[in-house]
Amino acid sequence: MPAPLPCPVAAVMIHVGDVQAALEWYAAAFPLAQRQKIADSENADTGFECLVYGGIQLELVPADAKVASGAAGSVVYWHFGEFGAALRHFEALGATLYRGPMDIEGGQRMAQVRDPWGNPIGLRGPHTE
Position 46 confidence tier, pLDDT thresholds 50, 70, 90: low
Q: What is the pTM of this model?
A: 0.85
The radius of gyration of the chain's CA atoms, rounded to the nearest angstrom, is: 16
Same domain, 56 and 85: no
Same domain, 85 and 128: yes
Same domain, 80 and 126: yes
Mean pLDDT of 84-95: 96
pLDDT at residue 42, as a whole number: 66
Position 21 confidence tier, pLDDT thresholds 50, 70, 90: very high
Range 91-95, long-range pairs (CB < 8 A, 24+ positions): 93/25, 93/28, 93/29, 94/25, 95/29, 95/121
Same domain, 51 and 93: no
Same domain, 22 and 44: yes
pLDDT one-digit tens code per residue, 97-107: 999 999 999 99
